[in-house]
Structure 1
Amino acid sequence: MTDRTEYYSQQYNARASIPDHPYIFTRWLKESMQVRRSQPALFDITYGDASGERLDFFPASRGDAPLLVFIHGGWWRSLDKADFSFLAPAYARAGFNVALTNYTLAPHASIAEIVQQQLRALAWLYRNADKYDFNRDRIVVAGHSAGAHLAAMMMAAHWDIYGSDLPANLIKGGILMSGLYDLDPVRYADFVNVDLKLTEEDVPVLSPALMPQPNPAPFITAYGALESDEFRRQTELIANAWKPNHRADVPLPGLNHLTICDAFADTDHPLYKATLELLTEIQ
């Protein structure tokens, strides 16, 4: 194993650095199961032909409200939208619709194919806004870890080229949490690239930090104070690359790569409040 491979494998293996990660995943699952039993929602809505192309929709209590789209992480190869249902109630109660998207997991799909699936999901949501009674002109995307990479790719998309019926500014804002925005180091993280199979040629077309932000959508970033240097560096990279529209990096003392998601759903936490402020101000 080369020094570079060893370094990046250690830096990006977040689960290995969180001894209680099985407990956290179990807690999320239990909380999400309770939400799915008790909250009004539509589950497994089809947005494409592949089995992974499904989304859940938690409606707001009022019509024509904004839509928050959350994309889950798991290194593009694990977890499920259902595991993150616990995130939805806090935003639905505050008056916002919430959609949780799935995608085909690696190695059954490449990252490029997963990006295409998320493009389909967001385009589908925009086109079906009237049916689900949300404001198509106030769509904000959020993501965690690999999901933050996908959210940033949605912010980097040229939507009017992707679909002639789509506005260039389809995404009105973003919340990027502990994400991966330059994929070059991921090629050397053997524990995950065994499934992702990223190559040098993939990096420029799949790294949002290496792309211009085509539309001035405001966004916030966050990473846990207990995270590795690489997750901090990745966050600083996207914040600097898209600096004109970067509103804030929310400090997260005492949080790790997973507990950041708990903060995102905690109505008393600064991350939730910053997200709510972004959602509220976007017109």
Structure 2
Amino acid sequence: MRIDQYPPQEPMSENMQAYHDHLMRQADESRAHEAQYGDDPYQSIMVFPAEKPNGTVLMYLHGGGWTNGYKEWMAFMAPALNALGITYATAGYRLAPRHVFPAGLQDCGEALKWLAANVKQFGGDPDMMFVGGHSAGGHYAALLATADSLPDGTDVRPLIRGSAPVSGSFYFGEESGMAVRPRFLGAPESGNEVHASPLRRLSGPTCPFLLTWGEKDFPHLIVQAQQMSDALQRQGTRVDTLVLPRHNHFTASHAAGEVDGLWPDRLSKWMQSIVN
């Protein structure tokens, strides 16, 4: 889908606009298979088959502060992951402020269910599916793996073999370190700070996690990732961590799509260690 076919988003900050421009220059959608999993234009997904698939599947979710972003942003990652045999998908979801929590979580779960039902035709194994994402997308990837169920009552956790957030958020509230309350949480009286916090949803072991952040990432996200790692381990979950040297919040996303790069290689080995 062309970017100008989507409903308008919130104005982007200067840093976000630069990030958007960089990703769109790299995006190559020529090999993508696009589908709708819902009626809204943002409820869409692109699948990039690997030339030599090994069965593993990664559904990746874009960032953008829950108010911006497109699935097309993450198309640049396909060459690096396909080269490793991974069937790669990038999914969109409805955005705030028009759609507040839990709409985006429900969308991510619906995209995952669609992928599980259709991925065989693209060379993927529905029993070898992983979720990941950058920033706000990393938050949703963690929440899919830790929430008891989607808002409609569906439990998608059995579909997920592992979760790989990059520079994600793991809890909200006054102690989260965020300067501004995220708009996707809706009204303060909703209680969504708790409902939307993966760290506060932990009640036992989950699927394995690969937590990644940039060495120069936003300080509060580094603290949150370290706390999420500790909390997961206390619950008996396998946790691997990766700090991307010299990378900040935005370039950590770039690094996730580098051919022969550190993150794709680490991700592939981590996935293989889980499915084998």
**TM-score, reference length from structure 1:** 0.82
Contact 2:186 2:192 in 1 (8 A): no
Mapped to 1, the partners of 2:41 and 2:19 lie a distance apart of 27
Unmatched runs of 5 consecutive residues or more in structure 1: 1-14
Question: Partners of 1:82 and 1:180 in 2: how far apart?
Answer: 22
Paired position in structure 1 for 2:32: 41
| 1:118-267 superposed matches below 5 A | 118-158=108-148, 162-163=153-154, 168-185=157-174, 189-190=179-180, 193-194=182-183, 196-199=185-188, 201-212=191-202, 216-243=206-233, 244-267=236-259
The CA distance in 2 between the partners of 1:102 and 1:68, in whole Å, is 14
CA distance in 2, matches of 1:51, 1:20: 25
Counterpart-to-counterpart distance in 2, 1:22 and 1:117: 24
Q: Identify the structure with bigger relative contact order (alpha carbons < 8 Å, sequence gap 6+).
A: 1
Residue in 1 that maps onto 2:20: 25
Alpha-carbon contact 1:156-1:214 (below 8 Å) kept: no
Secondary structure class of the residue paired with 1:94 = coil
- Structure 2 counterpart of 1:68, one-letter code: L
- What is the aligned-residue identity percentage? 24
Residue 64 of structure 2 is aligned to residue 74 of structure 1: yes
Amino acid at match of 1:220: L
TM-score when scaled to structure 2? 0.84
Q: Deviations over 1:122-160 (max 9, x none)?
A: 112112233444200000111111101100111114469
Aligned pair 1:51/2:50, yes or no?
no
Distance change in 2, residues 1:92/1:85 (3 Å)? same
Cα 1:198–1:239, aligned 2, differ >3 Å: closer, same or farther?
farther
Give the residue type in structure 2 aligned to 1:36.
E
1:182 touches 1:208 (CA, 8 Å); kept in 2? yes
CA distance in 2, matches of 1:109, 1:53: 12
In the alignment, is the contact (CA less than 8 A) between 1:159 and 1:170 conserved in 2?
no
DSSP-derived class of the 2:245 partner: coil
* Structure-2 residue corresponding to 1:65: 55
Q: Is 2:109 the partner of 1:116?
A: no
Report the residue type matching 1:184 in the other structure: G
Shift of 1:51: 2.5
Q: CA deviation at 1:281?
A: 2.2
Q: Give the Å deviation of 1:216.
A: 3.7
RMSD over equivalenced CA pairs, Å? 2.7
Indicate the structure with greater helix content: 1
Q: How many residues align?
A: 259
